[in-house]
Structure 1
């Protein structure tokens, strides 16, 4: 298909196929080390994958960071990325990571609605400000939560202080001409309706787009497109590709985490 190579990441990253098992191993070790501070599989809805994991700091949480996983809406789950909570936990923030029904069992519109449902459920577990981020397809979903067409409960919306789409897919229309669309089922109408770059954001939301400097040109273009459409900052992190750009979430003092949670 016309855009298959443009959106293929693992084939253009040295050792790309080694990252998913490495993530899963690190995530499993991270959860086991938290003991009772890892509250797993909290339900937010009736579907099989309508749950989230919550990781708590040692003291009263300063706020809640939410991370939405990627995988082109087709693969992975939050427990492949639990270790990315380390940086926020070290700064005293709680971290929630939601699961969602994967395509083709759910359309992207249905997945987006699941995340809408999950947000208030996650917010109910921890008081204070909310910082929302997501990677790749998760970056798309994080950005969608800021769209003017999304109605969150007023108290939850007021707490949503910062949003960081990391390497997001902001315009879904090119994905129609990829092989993965056999499972995504995008048509022109859905692609337009679910593209953050084509939807104005709600006023007053602080959005900061983050992308690796060594990513595929399509992802650099997607990041810039969202930044231009929303007039928000775009950071292109030098030397980072699509798989290691999220590693900044593991470090409490990384530039990425400072941008998401605020410098300390």
Structure 2
């Protein structure tokens, strides 16, 4: 087994992107501007104080993009990611940015359940085709949404028409070795239970997997692992050129990017 320092280098993108804080600042500023200039509602989807979402409706909406933010399940807030909405709304896609409680106050399993509640609530309240998307930890949660028995939540089998997972994590066992597992509190059993790569997909719709070309070998391996586990719905891993773990998210806002090819005919 590699040394803990190897896992840290592979799974902590801040170590390889020196100006990572600039992206956090830009996200927050552009998100605030988006909320000032775009119609939206903040809505509760569940009983917890963090179980809210921001809904940015598009006129004559083609589909509803559900976005699940990253931050290793322990950082950020929906308010940091409103900036993804304006270009997608202009392209005819409504956008819902989900909030959820963070580790260590809750487990990754509970965060997953909150996201399921959000997706189910959105479809009941605003029924239209759903595209589930997420970045980093949100990419993992996107995978978990594709392994959810949605009939148990009252959703029809075709409610979700696709997904986009960017820099997702699908086997959580390596994270037992990282320093921030003090917040995640993963052990072998919980890591396995929260790993989409060891489950079967319940959603039979295309799931696009993407990773920045400049990301670590392990981030690339994580997406390949899910492609191999779910070949019927994950047909390729898109390596986005000149992208690291933080600027790779910009591709989601560009409907001309290869991420969007399966969905533009909705």
Q: TM-score range with shorter-chain normalisation?
A: over 0.9
Q: Quote the Cα distance in structure 2 between the aligned partners of 1:70 and 1:12.
A: 17
Q: How many residues align?
A: 259
Check the 8 A contact 1:135/1:166 in 2, yes or no.
yes
Aligned to 2:50: 49
| Matched residue, 2:81 | 81
Counterpart for residue 26 of structure 2: 22
SS at structure 2 position matched to 1:208: strand
Deviation at 1:126, TM superposition (A): 2.5
Q: What per-residue deviation string (whole Å, max 9, x for no partner) do you get for residues 73-114 of structure 1?
A: 000011111111233212211100110010000000111111
SS of match in other structure, 1:4? helix
Asked if the contact 1:210–1:223 (Cα under 8 Å) also holds between the matched residues in 2, the reply is: yes
> Could you tell me how far 1:150 is from its partner in structure 2?
5.8
Distance 1:156 1:141 in 2: 20
Please tell me whether the aligned partners of residues 148 and 199 of structure 1 are also in contact (alpha carbons under 8 angstroms): no
Q: How does 1:103-182 map to 2 (within 5 A)?
A: 103-147=103-147, 151-182=151-182
CA displacement, residues 2-51 of structure 1 (integer Å, 9 cap, x when unaligned): 411111112212412211011000110011011xx2112x0011111000
Cα RMSD after superposing both structures: 1.7
Correspondence list, 1:28-47, <5 A: 28-34=32-38, 37-40=39-42, 42-47=43-48
Give the conservation status (yes or no) of the 8 Å contact 1:212–1:245: yes
Name the residue aligned to 2:215.
Answer: 215
Task: Give, in whole Å, the separation in 2 of the partners of 1:152 and 1:84.
Answer: 30
**Shift of residue 253 of structure 1?**
2.4
Give 1:251 shift: 2.4
Tell me the secondary structure at the aligned position of residue 55 of structure 2: strand
Matched, 1:262 2:230: no
Answer yes or no: is the 8 Å Cα contact 2:120–2:154 preserved in 1: no
Runs ≥4 in structure 1, deviation > 4 angstroms?
Answer: 148-152
Mark the CA change 1:38 to 1:215 in structure 2 (over 3 Å): closer, same or farther: same
Q: Match of 1:162, SS?
A: strand
Structure 1 residues 127 and 149: alpha-carbon distance in aligned structure 2, compared to 1, 3 A threshold: closer
Q: Provide, for residues 214-256 of structure 1, a one-character-per-residue CA deviation record: whole Å limited to 9, x for no partner.
A: 1111111111111111111211112111101110222232222
Quick check: 1:61–1:126 contact (8 Å CA) kept in 2? no
Kindly provide the CA deviation profile for residues 182-229 of structure 1, in whole angstroms up to 9, marking residues without a partner as x. Answer: 111111111001101111112623211111111111111111111111
* Distance in 2 of aligned mates of 1:156 and 1:94: 20
Unmatched segments (≥5 aa) in structure 2: none
Q: Report if aligned partners of 1:70, 1:139 keep a CA contact under 8 Å in 2.
A: yes
- Distance of 2:122 and 2:44 partners within structure 1: 9
Partner Cα separation in structure 2 for residue 146 and residue 155 of structure 1: 13
Q: Match for 1:244 among 237, 243, 247? A: 247
Shift of 1:124: 2.8
Report the equivalent of 1:67. 67
